[in-house]
């Protein structure tokens, strides 16, 4: 008895290539001319290509591709056209070069001139007097650490780092603290932060939500306002919280520092998903 098996047509796979026609912004988070600028700024203009070495622009594209596609390094290697080990080494190298220069971009105002400028810019956009920026925290999901994994579990039951950041009126990050586990409350992070110590000796203030304790240098809604000034301050800040809730309901970007977090995670999808890297490397990525 003869048995016939129907065979499917042979599949033909097309070679994966990165071409100029494909969307650079989707693949690398930036346009082609921006990637060239980033490569020159962080990696230098010198390119060593002897022995098949990867040039600086390709290194930056490799780094950004992994941030834009937080999957597996093998997939990124296929897109770029290099070996998986090259992806790992290149990512770590570029990451370290960028982190070395972080203070050139993320700077908290401490001088009288910078404080006055921050306060003036805040007044141009908003109405709260004496404010120089806003503070809030966001959770970045990570893999379960091998050591003390339960301490990283946040209130939603996910393993994460609780990241505190401040921003100014131009929606630029002015400070960031990535040293706390997901189980730690926002108020505790604030009390132990360098920004809190800096603000405690100034006559200016940051704006926070009701999760933070009120202080002369940190304005949050009063729990039981009694004076007209306290009621006015509470109403202003609560209106800000209501606006944030309305934005959440409409699934739009959040306000001020919340919007900064939203823009950051929108630009770099690796921060929206669970970062598949060692726990020790995650703070540098953030």
Is residue 85 in a domain? yes
Is residue 215 in a domain? yes
Whether residue 31 sits in one domain with residue 160: no
Q: Calculate the average pLDDT of the chain.
A: 82
What's the structural domain count of the chain?
Answer: 2
Is residue 112 in a domain? yes
Q: Which two tokens stand for residue 241?
A: 């919280």
- What is the pLDDT at residue 255? 66
Task: Choose one of 67, 102, 137: the last residue of a domain.
Answer: 102
Q: How confident is the model at residue 139 (pLDDT cuts 50, 70, 90)?
A: very high
Is residue 11 in a domain? no
Whether residue 200 sits in one domain with residue 173: yes
Question: What is the chain's Cα-based Rg?
Answer: 23
Q: How confident is the model at residue 22 (pLDDT cuts 50, 70, 90)?
A: low
Whether residue 95 sits in one domain with residue 72: yes
Is residue 10 in a domain? no
Whether residue 185 sits in one domain with residue 126: yes
Whether residue 184 sits in one domain with residue 274: yes
Q: Is the pTM of this model over 0.85?
A: no
Is residue 19 in a domain? no
Whether residue 76 sits in one domain with residue 127: no
Q: Which residue has the higher pLDDT, 101 or 12?
A: 101
Per-residue pLDDT tens over the stretch 76-107:
777 777 778 888 899 999 999 999 999 999 99
**DSSP of 30-53, one letter per residue?**
S-HHHHHHHHHHHH-S----GGGP
Whether residue 134 sits in one domain with residue 64: no
Whether residue 201 sits in one domain with residue 280: yes
Domain range for 127? 106-285
Whether residue 143 sits in one domain with residue 279: yes
d(CA 37, CA 270): 22
Task: Choose one of 35, 70, 102: the last residue of a domain.
Answer: 102
**Average pLDDT rounded to a whole number, residues 6-10:** 59
d(CA 234, CA 255): 17
Q: How confident is the model at residue 36 (pLDDT cuts 50, 70, 90)?
A: very high
Is residue 18 in a domain? no
Whether residue 93 sits in one domain with residue 75: yes
d(CA 5, CA 7): 6
Q: Which two tokens stand for residue 150?
A: 């339960």
Q: Which two tokens stand for residue 120?
A: 């003036």
Task: Choose one of 102, 135, 167: the last residue of a domain.
Answer: 102
Burial 175-205 (b: 16+ CB within 10 A, else e): bbbeebbbebebeebbeebebbeebeebebb
Most confidently predicted of 7-16, 206-215, 252-261: 206-215
Whether residue 162 sits in one domain with residue 241: yes
Whether residue 199 sits in one domain with residue 65: no
Backbone angles phi, psi at 229, to 5 degrees: -65, -45
């Amino acid at each position: 008895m003869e048995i016939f098996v129907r065979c499917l047509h042979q599949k033909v796979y097309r070679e994966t290539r990165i071409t100029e026609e494909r969307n650079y912004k989707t693949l690398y988070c930036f346009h082609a001319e921006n990637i060239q600028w980033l490569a020159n700024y962080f990696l230098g203009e010198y390119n060593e290509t002897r022995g098949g070495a990867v040039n600086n622009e390709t290194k930056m594209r490799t780094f950004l591709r992994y941030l834009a596609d937080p999957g597996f390094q093998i997939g990124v290697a296929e897109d770029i056209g290099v070996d998986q080990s090259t992806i790992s080494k290149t990512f770590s190298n570029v990451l370290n070069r960028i982190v070395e220069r972080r203070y050139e971009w993320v700077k908290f105002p401490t001088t009288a001139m910078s404080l006055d400028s921050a306060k003036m810019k805040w007044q141009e956009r908003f109405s709260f007097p004496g404010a120089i920026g806003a503070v809030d925290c966001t959770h970045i999901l990570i893999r379960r650490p091998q050591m003390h994994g339960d301490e990283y579990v946040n209130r939603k039951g996910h393993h994460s780092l609780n990241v505190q950041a401040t921003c100014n009126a131009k929606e630029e990050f002015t400070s960031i603290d990535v040293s706390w586990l997901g189980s730690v409350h926002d108020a505790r992070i604030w009390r132990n932060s360098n920004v809190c110590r800096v603000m405690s000796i100034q006559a200016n203030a940051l704006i926070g939500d009701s999760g933070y304790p009120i202080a002369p240098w940190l304005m949050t809604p009063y729990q039981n306002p009694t004076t007209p000034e306290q009621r006015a301050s509470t109403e202003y800040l609560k209106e800000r919280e209501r606006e944030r809730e309305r934005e959440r309901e409409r699934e739009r970007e959040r306000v001020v520092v919340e919007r900064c977090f939203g823009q950051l995670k929108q630009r770099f999808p690796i921060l929206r998903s669970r970062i598949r890297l060692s726990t020790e490397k995650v703070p540098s990525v953030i």
